[in-house]
């Protein structure tokens, strides 16, 4: 097979998902590993792919090598703070002492951390913000997967299998979303979707943590159907129609009341 034919096949294999792992390329294309690496190097030089740890992705899958689609973390953290704090408290109350959990990166899931210290949890997280929040908790054991650091979200992601966390199994996974509708749980970036799908398979139960504004938001990629979510935690601004969609999907709905502070005199 000529180099041009291999390159065309590599690009075809990447079209559906936007990325491919080197091990899969090695299985699918009859060429030596050294030859495949040269092909990837040549495609990257031409600007047709971007090399990442363990494989390659298409430039259209993300805007920049270290930037995900969607808003940066420092912008998200200031939105709906009271609602996110209430959701975080309710989520932490679902945890049992000593159990293993996955806490996916996000400004809402971060709000769980202050309430976890007494529980002695085993936590797998891809968020460096969550790692920092949990480090002072001497009884909390922390595991992070391997992958690429995306600075604006301060998150570690890998679209491929070689992330070092394959043997971790959790009672439940806590995660946020860019948007939620009757069509499912949605995110804005294909790499984030692929990485999170692999985490979903490592938990017995999925807990979705989203403030009510996410039911009127939009995003381009469906992470999973609502039927895959066991528990959805949101705030008391949820519309009745959205609550009905959640309940029809079979998810347990927890509405976390937002604490109101007395007005200053």
33 versus 65: the higher-pLDDT residue is 33
Residues 226-230, mean pLDDT to the nearest whole number: 96
Determine the pLDDT at residue 227.
95
Domain ranges of the chain: 3-61, 73-256
Which class would CATH give 3-61?
Answer: mainly alpha
**pLDDT of 219 above 80:** no
First to last CA, the chain: 79
**pLDDT of 147 above 90:** no
Count of helix runs (H) and strand runs (E) in the chain = 8, 15
Determine the pLDDT at residue 263.
45
**pLDDT of 248 above 80:** yes
173 versus 72: the higher-pLDDT residue is 173
Secondary structure class of 20 (helix, strand, coil): strand
Q: Which helix (H) or strand (E) holds 12?
A: helix 3-15
Of the pLDDT bands very low, low, confident and very high (cuts 50, 70, 90), residue 63 is very low
Q: Checking phi first, is residue 250 left (phi over 0); if not, alpha (psi -120 to 50) or beta?
A: left
Of the pLDDT bands very low, low, confident and very high (cuts 50, 70, 90), residue 260 is low
Determine the pLDDT at residue 169.
92
**pLDDT of 225 above 90:** yes
Q: Distance between CA 15 and CA 217 in Å, rounded?
A: 27
Highest-confidence segment of 4-13, 15-24, 190-199, 251-260: 251-260
State the chain's mean pLDDT as an integer.
86
Residue 44 tokens, joined:
């990257």
Lowest mean pLDDT among 75-89, 108-122, 150-164: 150-164
Task: Convert the pLDDT of each residue in 174-199 to its tens digit.
Answer: 999 999 988 899 988 777 887 888 88
Domain spanning 73-256, CATH architecture: 3-Layer(aba) Sandwich (3.40)
Residues 59-65, mean pLDDT to the nearest whole number: 51
**pLDDT of 264 above 60:** no
């Amino acid at each position: 097979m000529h180099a041009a034919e291999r390159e065309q096949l590599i690009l075809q294999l990447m079209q559906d998902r936007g990325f491919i792992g080197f091990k899969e390329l090695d299985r699918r294309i009859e060429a030596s590993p050294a030859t495949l690496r040269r092909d990837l190097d040549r495609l990257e030089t031409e600007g047709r792919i971007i090399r990442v740890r363990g494989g390659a992705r298409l430039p259209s899958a993300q805007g920049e090598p270290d930037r995900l689609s969607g808003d940066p973390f420092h912008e998200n953290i200031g939105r709906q703070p009271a609602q996110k704090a209430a959701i975080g408290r309710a989520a932490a109350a679902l945890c049992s002492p000593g159990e293993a959990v996955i806490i996916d990166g996000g400004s809402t899931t971060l709000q769980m951390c202050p309430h976890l210290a007494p529980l002695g949890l085993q936590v797998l997280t891809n968020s460096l913000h969550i790692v920092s929040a949990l480090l002072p908790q001497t009884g909390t054991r922390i595991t992070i997967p391997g992958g690429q650091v995306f600075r604006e979200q301060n998150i570690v992601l890998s679209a491929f299998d070689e992330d070092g966390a394959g043997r971790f199994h959790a009672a439940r996974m806590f995660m946020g979303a860019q948007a939620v509708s009757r069509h499912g749980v949605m995110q804005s970036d294909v790499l984030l979707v692929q990485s999170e799908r692999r985490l979903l398979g490592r938990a017995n139960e999925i807990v979705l943590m989203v403030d009510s504004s996410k039911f009127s938001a939009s995003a381009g990629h469906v992470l999973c159907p609502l039927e895959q979510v066991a528990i959805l935690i949101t705030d008391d601004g949820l519309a009745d129609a959205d609550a009905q969609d959640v309940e029809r999907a079979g998810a347990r709905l927890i509405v976390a009341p937002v604490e109101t502070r007395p007005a200053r005199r």
